Structure 1
């Protein structure tokens, strides 16, 4: 896991490994996990960005399996949030 510091905050590039893509169940779980943190967290693809605390925002990205995304977080617990979300996404693998 390679968390990078940028002017926007901490960034963690990931490749989704979710059969069927980031559909309702994993999107809900990801949003639920993100809501545990005070940090502002977004999920970004090449085309768009979504609030990682909102299941509907995440679903609006329509991310397929093997999509390259970046989690971006800023705030006091940003590093912990990115680490937890990476673990969450890994646990959701089918």
Structure 2
């Protein structure tokens, strides 16, 4: 199991387009992916669940990845978050 803290550094947070990219990326992996903000924990492969967290710019979210391909999933999701910030999404 991998537990990581991500800070959403893109200017508009995980709104519809970036959240869709997250779900598309996460769904390629067999591992369970959960996002937690404050006391709410949601499925990291569900667009509506992610949007319900209201992850705006500067938000911090705990991501738990558990499964056979957890390391690959963790690396790819970290790259996605960095790319979103870099592109100004």
TM-score relative to the length of structure 2: 0.90
Q: In proportion to residue count, which structure has more helix?
A: 2
The residue that corresponds to 1:63 in the other structure is 55
Q: Show structure 1 runs of 5+ residues with no match.
A: 1-8
Q: Which runs of 4+ in 1 moved over 3 A?
A: none
Q: How far does the alpha carbon of each residue in 1:71-90 deviate from its partner, in whole angstroms, 9 at most, with x for none?
A: 10111011111111010111
Higher relative contact order (CA 8 A, sep 6+): 2
Q: How far does the alpha carbon of each residue in 1:10-61 deviate from its partner, in whole angstroms, 9 at most, with x for none?
A: 1011111021221000000000000000000011111311211111110010
The residue that corresponds to 2:4 in the other structure is 12
* CA distance, structure 2, for counterparts of residue 50 and residue 65 of structure 1: 19
Instruction: Please provide the CA RMSD for this pair.
Output: 1.0
Secondary structure of 2:14's match? coil
User: Is the counterpart of residue 87 in structure 1 residue 70 in structure 2?
Assistant: no
Residue 63 of structure 1 deviates from its aligned partner by 1.0
The residue that corresponds to 1:4 in the other structure is none
Q: Show structure 2 runs of 5+ residues with no match.
A: none
TM-score relative to the length of structure 1: 0.86
